[in-house]
Amino acid sequence: MSDDNAPWLIAGLGNPGPEYAMNRHNVGFMVADLLARRMGAKFKRATKGQAQVVEGRIGPPGPANRRVILAKPMSYMNVSGGPVTALRDFYKVPTDRIVAVHDELDIDYGVLRLKLGGGDNGHNGLKSMTKAMGPDYHRVRFGIGRPPGRMQVADFVLKDFSSTERKELDYFVDRAADAVEALVTEGLERAQSSYNS
> Is 25 a residue of the active site?
yes
pLDDT band at residue 142 under the 50/70/90 scheme: very high
For the segment 36-56, the average pLDDT, to the nearest whole number, is 87
Is residue 3 pLDDT above 80, yes or no?
A: no
Mean pLDDT confidence for 111-119: 96
Percent with pLDDT over 70 in the chain? 96
* pLDDT beyond 70 at 135: yes
pLDDT band, residue 2 (cuts 50/70/90): low
Q: Are 77 and 120 in contact (CB under 8 A)?
A: no
Phi, psi of 29 (to 5 degrees): -65, -40
Strand order in the sheet with 8-12: 44-45, 51-58, 66-73, 8-12, 98-104, 138-143, 112-116
Confidence category of residue 133, pLDDT binned at 50, 70, 90 = very high
Alpha helices in 3-162, H assignment, sequence order: 27-38, 81-91, 124-133, 153-157
Provide mean pLDDT across the span 155-175.
Answer: 97
Closest alpha carbon to 136 in 120, 150, 121: 120
Which amino acid appears at position 50 of this protein? Q
30 CA to centre of own chain: 9
| CB proximity list for 4: less than 8 A, separation 6 or greater | none
| CA atoms within a 13 Å half-sphere pointing along the CA-CB vector of 129 | 34
**Could you tell me if 53 and 71 are in contact, meaning their C-beta atoms sit under 8 angstroms apart?**
yes
Query: Which pLDDT band holds residue 60 (cuts at 50, 70, 90)?
Result: confident
